Amino acid sequence: MTTQQLTEQIIKKKSFLCIGLDVDLNKIPQHLLQTEDPIFEFNKAIIDATHHLCVAYKPNTAFYEAYGLKGWKALEKTINYLNDNHPDIFTIADAKRGDIGNTSTMYAKAFFEDLAFDSVTVAPYMGKDSVEPFLAFKDKHTIMLALTSNQGAFDFQTKQVEGKELYKQVLETSKNWKNSENLMYVVGATKAEYFAEIRKIVPNSFLLVPGVGAQGGNLQDVCKYGMSKNVGLLINSSRGIIYASSNDDFAQAAAAKAEDLQQQMEVVLNNK
């Protein structure tokens, strides 16, 4: 999928919502545990109830790996279900990978070829040759951590490196990498005031924004400072949507939460 196609979906659906599919078997409705594949059944119900309200889904690989082979199989079934039934929806493998060149190529094959995701999240610590192997895939997107939404972001990301914060060095440096047009960035919503600074460096790039809702970020502030002329935002909500209810009505409750966010986004888009 191209970024232009993603923007078209945003305009069509009046939504830039991404739903995080972080399935914890301790939190899903108990009746699903009796099915053969509870993780996939949960995801399928959430997707069926919310696909008209969002433009992206983001399974975090940790929640699948924790369940071993069964988890990886559920991840495979989930991405196949999305690609078969909703090919217009942008898919993100939230994997935060990164390794030396030939190894990063193997990760890129895992997420772009074996599992046919549109994008994968990566960590910047190992630099250019750990990220460029991902960027080499045409019409695939590499979403690099810049400023994350957790407290630990202040340990290194906001430290001064040669006159500017590390996350700004990461953004600026990455603009010079080969196929950098395939880069997007993770920027946490809990630090909305940083978006104005970030937009000076990457005015047009898509930003994947976790931290609205459960982690305390504010949608209006993020849009005020972070929206580009082509929207350029994917706002993620995981727990706030998928665990809105732990009863039989969990999918409808998730849809209601997703619709609430979609309608706030529609107001923002109409006023843009």
**Least gap, CB of 26 to a copy of itself (angstroms):** 11
- Number of Cβ atoms within 10 Å of the Cβ of 256: 16
Whichever of 10 and 75 has its CB closer to a copy of itself, that residue is 75
Closest by CA to 133, choosing from 172, 84, 100, 92, is 100
CB 209 within 8 A of CB 233: yes
Nearest-5° angle of CA 14, CA 116, CA 66? 95
Catalytic residue among 14, 44, 73, 96: 96
229 is known as an active-site residue: no
Nearer to a copy of itself, 24 or 37 (CB): 24
The nearer residue to a copy of itself, 29 or 98, going by C-beta atoms, is 98
- Residue from 12, 31, 65, 247 binding a copy of itself (CB under 8 A): 65
Q: Identify which of 132, 136, 117, 141 has the alpha carbon closest to the alpha carbon of residue 207.
A: 141
d(CA 246, CA 28): 6
**Smallest distance from a copy of itself to CB 46, Å:** 18
Distance, C-alpha 125 to centroid of its chain:
19
**Residue 103 burial by Cβ neighbours in a 10 Å radius (0-12, 13-18, 19+):** middle
Tell me if 67 contacts a copy of itself by CB under 8 A.
Answer: yes
Q: Which stretch binds a copy of itself (CB under 8 A): 6-14, 35-43, 96-104, 191-199?
A: 96-104
Min dist CB 52 to a copy of itself, Å, is: 28
Q: Is 98 in the site for a copy of itself (CB under 8 A)?
A: yes
Q: How many residues bind a copy of itself (CB under 8 A)?
A: 58
For residue 262, the minimal CB distance to a copy of itself (Å) is 24
Q: How far apart are CA 177 and CA 44, in angstroms?
A: 37
Name which of 162 and 193 has its Cβ closer to a copy of itself: 162
Q: Between 79 and 219, name the residue whose CB sits nearer to a copy of itself.
A: 79
With CB under 8 A as the contact rule, the residue among 35, 80, 85, 160 that binds a copy of itself is 160
- Residue pair 198/145 in contact (Cβ under 8 Å)? The answer is no
Q: Write out the two tokens for 21.
A: 């599919």
Kindly state whether residue 173 participates in binding a copy of itself, applying the rule CB under 8 A: yes
Do 54 and 29 touch, CB atoms closer than 8 A? no
Q: Contact between 63 and a copy of itself (CB under 8 A)? A: yes
Largest CA distance in the chain: 56
Q: Which amino acid is located at 168 in the chain?
A: K
- How far apart CA 230 and CA 205 sit, in angstroms, is 9
Compare residues 24 and 221 and give the one whose CB is closer to a copy of itself: 24
Binding stretches for a copy of itself (CB under 8 A): 22, 24, 60, 62-63, 65-69, 71-73, 76, 94, 96-101, 103-104, 106-107, 109-111, 114-115, 123-131, 145, 148-157, 159-162, 166, 169-170, 173
Q: Catalytic site residues?
A: 96
